[in-house]
Amino acid sequence: MVSSFVLSRVGIQGVKRPVTINRGNRSIVLVPSFDISVNLPAEQKGSHMSRHVEVIHRAVDQAIVGDNDSVEKLVERVAEELLKSHEYATYADVNLHADYFMKKRSPDGRDVTENYKIFAEAKIERDGGIPWRSIGIEVAGMSACPCAMENVRVLLKDDLKNRGFSDEAIGILDEIPVPTHNQKNRAFIEVGMNGEMDIEAEDLIKLVEDNLSSPTYEILKRKGEADLVLNAHMHPKFVEDIVRDIIDAFLDRYRELPDNATLHVRSISEESIHKHDAFAERITTLGEVREATMYERD
Amino acid sequence: MVSSFVLSRVGIQGVKRPVTINRGNRSIVLVPSFDISVNLPAEQKGSHMSRHVEVIHRAVDQAIVGDNDSVEKLVERVAEELLKSHEYATYADVNLHADYFMKKRSPDGRDVTENYKIFAEAKIERDGGIPWRSIGIEVAGMSACPCAMENVRVLLKDDLKNRGFSDEAIGILDEIPVPTHNQKNRAFIEVGMNGEMDIEAEDLIKLVEDNLSSPTYEILKRKGEADLVLNAHMHPKFVEDIVRDIIDAFLDRYRELPDNATLHVRSISEESIHKHDAFAERITTLGEVREATMYERD
Amino acid sequence: MVSSFVLSRVGIQGVKRPVTINRGNRSIVLVPSFDISVNLPAEQKGSHMSRHVEVIHRAVDQAIVGDNDSVEKLVERVAEELLKSHEYATYADVNLHADYFMKKRSPDGRDVTENYKIFAEAKIERDGGIPWRSIGIEVAGMSACPCAMENVRVLLKDDLKNRGFSDEAIGILDEIPVPTHNQKNRAFIEVGMNGEMDIEAEDLIKLVEDNLSSPTYEILKRKGEADLVLNAHMHPKFVEDIVRDIIDAFLDRYRELPDNATLHVRSISEESIHKHDAFAERITTLGEVREATMYERD
Amino acid sequence: MVSSFVLSRVGIQGVKRPVTINRGNRSIVLVPSFDISVNLPAEQKGSHMSRHVEVIHRAVDQAIVGDNDSVEKLVERVAEELLKSHEYATYADVNLHADYFMKKRSPDGRDVTENYKIFAEAKIERDGGIPWRSIGIEVAGMSACPCAMENVRVLLKDDLKNRGFSDEAIGILDEIPVPTHNQKNRAFIEVGMNGEMDIEAEDLIKLVEDNLSSPTYEILKRKGEADLVLNAHMHPKFVEDIVRDIIDAFLDRYRELPDNATLHVRSISEESIHKHDAFAERITTLGEVREATMYERD
């Protein structure tokens, strides 16, 4: 009987460690949760698991005290340490996710600290050329439904007509946004490629927030709250609109990235009128979406 | 050195078992998760833990095959079995929570199965008189903010005035609901008392749904969706309004319940304009809220 | 500016519905959570989202009332309904997960109901030939570490030697399992292929439980508890051993399955000596692992 | 009909903000999640909710930039700000929980960073005298079952006897720990009182770890792993033993605390032989447990 196969990966998950990222003149403390693994060749027995764990932790420590100016470089260094310490492994995979905080100016003009999620992953092969890295962010913003808004507009007009209002008065409903259902929308983007990426997490956050019905804020005075609600209702969007618009904006903003760079975009709408969530998602390469764009432009 | 104290409780948690409740002419299958415990006197060593666990399971089984017509009776029977089997214990506490499904008619007239949560607890004392039971439910409905709606109305009027519309035309904004932020609202009610309660879980669900900005539905055609959105905007409510209105409606509906019955009401609004949730909560007795009502009536 | 791309998928997630599966002469009630989606062509605007949701629910209902004898067939029927109702979509993806309960005989000879998780997925293409289906299960069992056991044996022998015990007496440590760390191990297997599968979820559960250090039981008397502990210590295994042994057993048991059937096996050890989890995982095809087996046999 | 009651509390939950605690010569960055609320008098309408939220955030900011040398003082300052800003409220409640990291020396002599959870709460009344504060920690350690160990010992002796080993050789089983089930144990302690507490979170962590079967470590070489396993098997404990021993140790260590200080201790064992968890819990005052101790000493 045969007793061993080439395992895809073996490792540990849920290791939390505080990490300092020195980004320009800022120093950011993150508390990421790491999942890290290497492949295990068929001929390799499992007896190095305790060393495996020990080494992984050391790798995290060495990477942490080093010169880290991005989470992508951090996970890549951890992956490099893994391959150094596991001479039998030919592949290492390291990813992390963490809360991320960014200062923003709210609609009513105050500086607030907003909460996001950040993701990074590195996949490296021994003697395998350029490492693959990704960086991603998740934003809790707002989506407002365009379909319900139009149907509500019809209902309101009918009602006003029945109540005897003039056509001129009723016509004002075409000049303003009317009620629709809106809700928290969790929008996610992750970009991956072989080699150095020059992508700022905070630029991704802004790009995503610009393509929701509206970004959200932790502190809003009444005027700011009303401005945000109006802004969202001026930009009603389905989940699939949000995904498409984020991809559009990304292509426009990052023209220099190679065709084989990967793009993962997802929008989850925590529907206020239903008990379930709605979602749209696209996993693709920049080449594929650029080609689709060319085709449509013809 | 002293080595033992009267422990509050010792038990097991997260035991899942399918249960059939025979309610009138209906048979409902639930998959509850149970947490069950007894007190452990100071002189009792921990050595009966394996028996403890074994007995708890048997108690669940015996209660499950018995004649169960309510989740409150189910947890009470489990608690009784616990005291029978743990002769040293003087107190038993059993609670469960489960997904609950109820058929409803949607705004556009179709029968849909909607998803809720149900909760039940029993606390009994050996020779301690009447057991205490509770039943609770949680509803995912919708809340729409009254404050933002008024501020949006002002902004819209100012904008239309600046664009040169007549006062008569602008006045129509006082005749209709205008946009506001709305979102999923998780509303919870739990009633507890000594002795038999004659409270239907489905009555509690209806009572809570009637006091949200709007109930939600899993299936909605366009007209039904617009009706729901309008309904919610005709009943804008803060989280504290929802809690107060649920208590009002409960007092009115269950006049026969004793003053020492307990009431726990909570409303959590998953704010669409913020990253955090807003909540309001009241834990009280019927006597206390009835007295507050009397006082205010003077 | 271009405004649309071929989205991978759009749909809804987290829809819970009770489902009855009629399997042989048994009737099983499950409460699955469904995630369902279709692709959305570039030229398709998002305006059918409300219909999309409505249709998805109807599809679930139709499939539920139909003749369901497996969760794989259930998800396939839901996927078929999706394509019927979304004439623009060419692809549908439906998956569910649910608690699953199975009667087992415990080591001390009693019938107990044990709790597992079940997974199923269907992916179908319009005019795309045979649908792809998968079925999976997750078991909470026990793993005991072989490495720590050997190191503990050495420590115990040294200690006994220092205390003056005879070599003969000390030699008894080679006859028995000695302490090691053990813990909950969450083991998962999922098999996928195009076309009909003749795989029983309960056979997968047994196959996985047979390849852990030990299965676990909700009710154990003292003797049964000791038997289980000894059994686990007679079969100490690393996470990677568990994955390899499950694959071995699967290949042996399901020889008739085609080479392009997919296999996903994962073992997560909730380490009792660490704060993190250890894991091993393999995602492969039967052809790939069969070839690796042939190669090693040479 | 009456429409308002004295609500218990209204507020926001799930607000995450990075916080720096300056403790002696160390600077610790935490990323807590805050839940904060005030009471809302019956005569107070809900119309200040937007201000409520705004003010809460400002309170957090002011407290964060201030001189914080403990999480207890942080939550108390946030509560004070709440009462300043909500002139109608007479009560404020603020609590936080966060990951906490502490350097420890592992059994094989290396410095490792270990992961815990920290909790703090403040409850203050306007003109209500001394604020109430609490601090708590949670440790993921290890518990080993004493009952299964004794039953395994009996089984092993019987087996060796059947295999013809001498009584002398078999007797060695009384000299060593034999296998038992062990698992992750989540142990929690929280101390609360009116006024200043001089309790270090790290002292609580050590106190709890000293009363588990064994603390756990993120990095362990083989020797260290075996030492830890042996240590745990030399101190087998039920969940109720862990709760009792933590209370004993706490009383002994903090003799100066007042009788009306509250103590909440809980131990959850993620059973490796079952699918459920076992737990024991005690919520009491120091006075009550001290009296029980006196009584038993007589």
- Residue A99 class from Cβ within 10 Å (0-12 exposed, 13-18 middle, 19+ buried)? middle
> B18 at the C interface (CB within 8 A)?
yes
Distance from CA of B28 to the nearest CA of D (A): 24
On whether the CB atoms of residues D230 and C155 are closer than 8 A, the answer is: yes
Contacts of A47 in chain C (CB under 8 A): 146-147, 238
What is the H or E stretch that residue D111 is in?
strand D111-125
Q: Judge: A172–B172 Cβ closer than 8 Å, yes or no.
A: yes
> What letter represents residue A95's amino acid?
N
> D223 at the A interface (CB within 8 A)?
no
pTM of the model: 0.94
Percentage of the residues of chain A whose pLDDT score is greater than 70: 88
Tokens of D99: 């990951």
Contacts of D181 in chain C (CB under 8 A): 142, 182, 225, 228-229, 232
Question: Whose CA is closest to A181, among B217, C298, C225?
Answer: B217
Q: Please check the confidence at residue B66 and state whether its pLDDT lies above 80.
A: no
Q: Within chain C, which residues score under 50 in pLDDT?
A: 1-5, 47, 297-298
Its sign, for the CA torsion A159, A163, A166, A169, is: negative
Tokens of D80: 């004070």
D197 vs B202: which has the higher pLDDT = B202
Distance from CA of B235 to the nearest CA of D (A): 14
- In this prediction, residue D56 has a pLDDT band, given cuts at 50, 70 and 90, of low
The mean per-residue pLDDT over the stretch D240-245 comes to 94
How many helices and strands, by DSSP H and E, does chain C display?
Answer: 8, 10
CA distance A192 to A208: 17
Q: Please check the confidence at residue A298 and state whether its pLDDT lies above 50.
A: no
pLDDT of residue A180: 98
Mention the CATH class of domain B1-94. Answer: alpha beta
Q: Judge: C50–A147 Cβ closer than 8 Å, yes or no.
A: yes
The mean per-residue pLDDT over the stretch A169-198 comes to 95
CA distance D101 to A31: 10
Q: Which fold has domain A1-103?
A: Urate Oxidase (3.10.270)
- In this prediction, residue B1 has a pLDDT band, given cuts at 50, 70 and 90, of very low
Composition of chain A by helix, strand, coil, percent to 5:
35, 35, 30
Q: What is the pLDDT of residues B255-284, one digit of tens each?
A: 999 999 999 999 999 999 999 999 999 999
Distance from CA of C30 to the nearest CA of B (A): 8
Helices marked H in A29-138? 49-65, 71-85
Q: What is the DSSP letter of D24?
A: T
CA distance B240 to C186: 43
CA distance C131 to C133: 6
The mean per-residue pLDDT over the stretch B80-103 comes to 91
Question: Whose CA is closest to C183, among C263, C129, C238?
Answer: C238
A223 vs B208: which has the higher pLDDT = B208
Contacts of C169 in chain D (CB under 8 A): 168-169, 171-172
Q: In the Cβ-directed half-sphere of D154, how many Cα atoms lie within 13 Å?
A: 11
Q: Taking the mean position of all CA atoms in its chain, how far away is CA A139? A: 7
Q: In the Cβ-directed half-sphere of B137, how many Cα atoms lie within 13 Å?
A: 21
CB count in 10 Å sphere of residue B62: 14
Its sign, for the CA torsion C222, C225, C229, C230, is: positive
C117 vs A71: which has the higher pLDDT = C117
Helices marked H in chain D? 49-65, 71-85, 146-162, 167-171, 201-210, 222-234, 239-253, 286-297
Tell me the pLDDT of chain B averaged across its residues. Answer: 88
A25 vs B249: which has the higher pLDDT = B249
Q: Judge: C225–B16 Cβ closer than 8 Å, yes or no.
A: no
Which of A5, A143, A185, A238 should we substitute to test contact with C (largest number of C Cβ atoms within 10 Å)? Answer: A5
What is the H or E stretch that residue A297 is in?
helix A286-297
Domain C1-96: assigned CATH number: 3.30.1130.10
Contacts of B179 in chain A (CB under 8 A): 177-180, 229-230, 233
The mean per-residue pLDDT over the stretch D211-233 comes to 93
Q: Where are the domains of chain B?
A: 1-94
Residue A80, C-beta contacts closer than 8 angstroms, at least 6 positions apart? A92, A124
- Residue A143 class from Cβ within 10 Å (0-12 exposed, 13-18 middle, 19+ buried)? buried
Domain A130-145+181-298: assigned CATH number: 3.10.270.10
